């Protein structure tokens, strides 16, 4: 009998046991624990069920709204977890799951994450983290060096400086982007003379001080939605998040960017920051960072690079140059839970100027005292886990060259997959991979040809039907559960309109060319289904209809 069955009685003795007695290896939880220790990939493979239950069915297991009155057995609860959570989870580590940015993890992340949980350090202050604080500061310095490559004598001065931080470790790219814009905002409205700064007087007072009517952030239409949240949160307003159109390669159009800046000037709105993207979430493209750096300098505004996805490309000797200009950014976001292969919940933002984060510095009497090395004085978040240990582990174990291999493999596989799509006449590549992300759609050759000299109305009608094909195709493939690609809607410059496209992210090193061929083969099979054939039939008729233009 598992020892912790005792915990099912609410008395002091059982309470004591759940804090002290480890789970027996022959108990249900003990067995799960052992199974993921022995072979986590095998465990996921066997316990995640491929066929989806409907969300309604799943919700039924989570519909009670009262906290259980009585304790339960750990084993009983673990059974519940196996059946209702594990079985109905998404197998994000599967090599055929190429639709999102979440992929497989190196095996050592799991035991180290458990160690992290066991230690339960809180990075907000040295008093609850001790060695974890210098370790995290080192991780931030390493990332800073990867991005900025400042001279070697720069780092010893700043790495463990009690007054400053080279960056902020946070739960992901969203908080990293918010932090970057928060710093930019506070530096734009820094205290001077009688003006006590936006931190004290708020946005209205700050604008009055500058005689301005607003502040704006400029980013391409491919910008991540976290900038919308940041604009809302920081008082910028979503209307002042200016989304600049992109060119044929999904990169910000510089001429339009400059036009937008002129329009802001006419409205007496100050550009707070220009954001360049290094690896757009949907298409993996990189903005012209050098040109953006030049322009940001010209108009004297903060230049932020969102490299949440593409940042680790800096590890690659072959592809690093794609990000040229990133080293001129005032701040750079890089997600660790994406291409650093750390479990979910880790991102970072680094600042070129080691004093930049002072703009959001805050202190409290019981912790975060002046002169302490507490990292919490320079972060948006308060209590934080020791996740940086897992980044440290990745940097140490995989190393620059290991990450380089992962990056190079992903980019080359994407180029190869693009070739595979180009070789299928009934598929259309809608965005060329620059990194390891690409988009495409199913579009019969005949429709593609008819599109070329069709009137705008006919094109729109054809595209509307193709959108439906794409949507159905993705849905059927997802529900079949063998392989997975995602879908999105993008304005494709060549078509001049927003289209539904399939999106593939190639970050899992276990994804082989055979698996990718399988993805396309399955899609060719799915389009034979009657519901899609009906749409294809309509497309064909439309193509042949001379009256449709
Ligand atoms: C993923 C991503 C983000 C947001 O990161 P989260 O970790 O999901 O908060 C921001 N920008 C880009 C380009 C991203 O790919």
Question: Does ligand 1 lie within 6 Å of residue 226's CB atom?
Answer: yes
Q: Which atom of ligand 1 is nearest to the CA of 172?
A: 7
Question: Does ligand 1 lie within 6 Å of residue 172's CB atom?
Answer: yes
In a domain, 119, yes or no: no
| Secondary structure E strands in 318-435 | 331-335, 347-351, 427-431
Q: Which helix (H) or strand (E) holds 38?
A: helix 28-47
- Using CA positions, which residue lies closest to atom 12 of ligand 1? 308
Beta bridge partners of 219: 243
Same domain, 369 and 414: no
Which tokens in the block code for residue 525? 């099979």
- Using CA positions, which residue lies closest to atom 4 of ligand 1? 173
Same domain, 325 and 461: no
At residue 389, the pLDDT reads: 98
Task: Look up tokens 């992929």; give the residue.
Answer: 103
This prediction's pTM: 0.95
Same domain, 65 and 139: no
In a domain, 181, yes or no: yes
Same domain, 144 and 255: yes
Same domain, 414 and 483: yes
**What CATH number should be reported for the domain holding residue 269?**
3.40.640.10
Same domain, 51 and 136: no
For residue 2, pLDDT beyond 60: no
Beta bridge partners of 428: 441
Same domain, 326 and 451: no
Q: Which atom of ligand 1 is nearest to the CA of 279?
A: 13
Confidence tier at 366 by pLDDT (50, 70, 90): low
Same domain, 454 and 544: yes
154 Cα: distance to centroid of ligand 1 (angstroms): 29
Residues 117-159 pLDDT 10s: 999 999 999 999 999 999 999 999 999 999 999 999 999 999 9
Q: What is the DSSP letter of 426?
A: T
User: What secondary structure does DSSP assign to 482-499, as a single string?
Assistant: S-B-EEEEEEETTTTEEE
At residue 1, the pLDDT reads: 39
Mean pLDDT value across residues 43-61: 87
Between CA 327 and CA 289 the distance in angstroms is 9
Full residue range of the structural domain in which residue 51 is found: 19-89
Tally of structural domains, the chain: 3
Confidence tier at 103 by pLDDT (50, 70, 90): confident
Same domain, 451 and 492: yes
| Secondary structure E strands in 286-382 | 302-306, 331-335, 347-351
In a domain, 98, yes or no: no
415, 402, 443, 404: which is closest to 516 by C-alpha? 415
For residue 52, pLDDT beyond 80: no
Between CA 261 and CA 202 the distance in angstroms is 24
Q: Which helix (H) or strand (E) holds 290?
A: helix 289-299
Question: Does ligand 1 lie within 6 Å of residue 224's CB atom?
Answer: yes
Same domain, 325 and 177: yes
- Domain end (from 364, 383, 402): 383
Question: Does ligand 1 lie within 6 Å of residue 283's CB atom?
Answer: no
**What CATH number should be reported for the domain holding residue 536?**
3.90.1150.10
386 Cα: distance to centroid of ligand 1 (angstroms): 20
In a domain, 117, yes or no: no
Which tokens in the block code for residue 114? 């458990």
Between CA 391 and CA 405 the distance in angstroms is 17
In a domain, 14, yes or no: no
Question: Does ligand 1 lie within 6 Å of residue 306's CB atom?
Answer: yes
In a domain, 102, yes or no: no
Question: Does ligand 1 lie within 6 Å of residue 281's CB atom?
Answer: yes
Q: Which atom of ligand 1 is nearest to the CA of 277?
A: 13
In a domain, 506, yes or no: yes
Which tokens in the block code for residue 178? 């918010």
172, 107, 101: which is closest to 508 by C-alpha? 101
Residues 199-246 pLDDT 10s: 999 999 999 999 999 999 999 999 999 999 999 999 999 999 999 999
How many CB atoms are located within 10 Å of the residue 300 CB? 9
Residue of 305, 308, 338 with the most ligand 1 atoms within 8 Å of its CB, for mutation: 308
Q: Which atom of ligand 1 is nearest to the CA of 337?
A: 7
Residue of 221, 275, 277, 281 with the most ligand 1 atoms within 8 Å of its CB, for mutation: 281
């Amino acid at each position: 009998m598992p020892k912790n069955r005792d915990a099912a009685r609410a008395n002091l003795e059982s309470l004591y046991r759940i804090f002290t007695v480890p789970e027996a290896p022959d108990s249900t939880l003990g067995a799960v624990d052992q199974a993921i220790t022995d072979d986590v990939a095998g465990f996921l493979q066997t316990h995640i069920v491929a066929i989806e239950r409907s969300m309604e069915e799943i919700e039924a297991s989570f519909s009670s709204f009262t906290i259980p009155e009585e304790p339960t057995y750990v084993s009983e609860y673990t059974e519940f977890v196996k059946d209702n959570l594990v079985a109905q989870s998404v197998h994000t580590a599967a090599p055929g799951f190429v639709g999102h940015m979440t992929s497989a993890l190196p095996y050592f992340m799991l035991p180290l994450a458990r160690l992290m949980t066991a230690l339960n350090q809180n990075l907000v202050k040295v008093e609850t983290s001790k060695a974890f604080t210098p370790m995290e500061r080192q991780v931030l310095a390493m990332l800073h060096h990867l991005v900025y490559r400042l001279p070697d004598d720069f780092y010893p001065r700043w790495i463990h400086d009690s007054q400053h931080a080279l960056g902020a470790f946070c739960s992901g790219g969203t908080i990293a982007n918010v932090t970057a814009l928060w710093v930019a905002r506070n530096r734009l409205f820094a205290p001077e003379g009688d003006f006590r700064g936006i931190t004290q007087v708020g946005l209205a007072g700050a604008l009055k001080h500058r005689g301005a009517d607003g502040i704006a952030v400029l980013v391409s239409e491919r910008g991540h939605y976290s900038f919308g949240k940041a604009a809302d949160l920081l008082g910028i307003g979503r209307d002042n998040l200016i989304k600049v159109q992109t060119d044929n390669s999904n990169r910000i159009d510089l001429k339009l960017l400059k036009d937008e800046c002129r329009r802001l000037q006419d409205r007496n709105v100050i550009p707070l920051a220009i954001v360049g993207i290094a690896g757009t979430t949907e298409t993996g493209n990189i903005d012209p960072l050098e040109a953006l750096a030049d322009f940001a300098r010209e108009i004297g505004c903060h230049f932020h690079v969102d490299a949440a996805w593409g940042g680790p490309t800096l590890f690659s000797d072959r592809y690093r140059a794609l990000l040229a200009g990133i080293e001129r950014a005032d701040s750079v976001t890089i997600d660790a839970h994406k291409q650093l292969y750390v479990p979910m919940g880790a991102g970072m933002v680094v600042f070129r100027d080691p004093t930049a984060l002072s703009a959001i510095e805050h202190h409290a009497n019981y912790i975060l005292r002046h002169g302490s090395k507490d990292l919490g004085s320079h972060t948006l978040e308060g209590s934080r886990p020791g996740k940086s240990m897992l980044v440290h582990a990745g940097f140490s174990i995989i190393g620059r060259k290991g990450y380089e291999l992962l990056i190079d493999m992903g980019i080359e596989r994407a180029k190869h997959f693009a070739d595979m799509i180009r070789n299928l006449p009934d598929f259309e590549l809608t965005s060329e991979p620059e990194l390891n992300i690409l988009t495409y759609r199913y579009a019969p050759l005949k429709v593609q040809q008819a599109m070329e000299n069709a009137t705008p109305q006919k094109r729109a009608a054809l595209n509307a039907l193709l959108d439906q094909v794409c949507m159905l195709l993705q849905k059927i493939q997802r529900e079949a559960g063998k392989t997975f690609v995602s879908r999105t809607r993008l304005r494709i410059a060549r078509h001049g309109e927003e289209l539904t496209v399939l999106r593939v992210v190639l970050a899992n090193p276990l994804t082989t060319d055979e698996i990718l061929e399988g993805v396309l083969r399955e899609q060719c099979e799915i389009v034979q289904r009657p519901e899609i054939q009906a749409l294809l039939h309509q497309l064909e008729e439309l193509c042949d209809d001379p009256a449709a233009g």
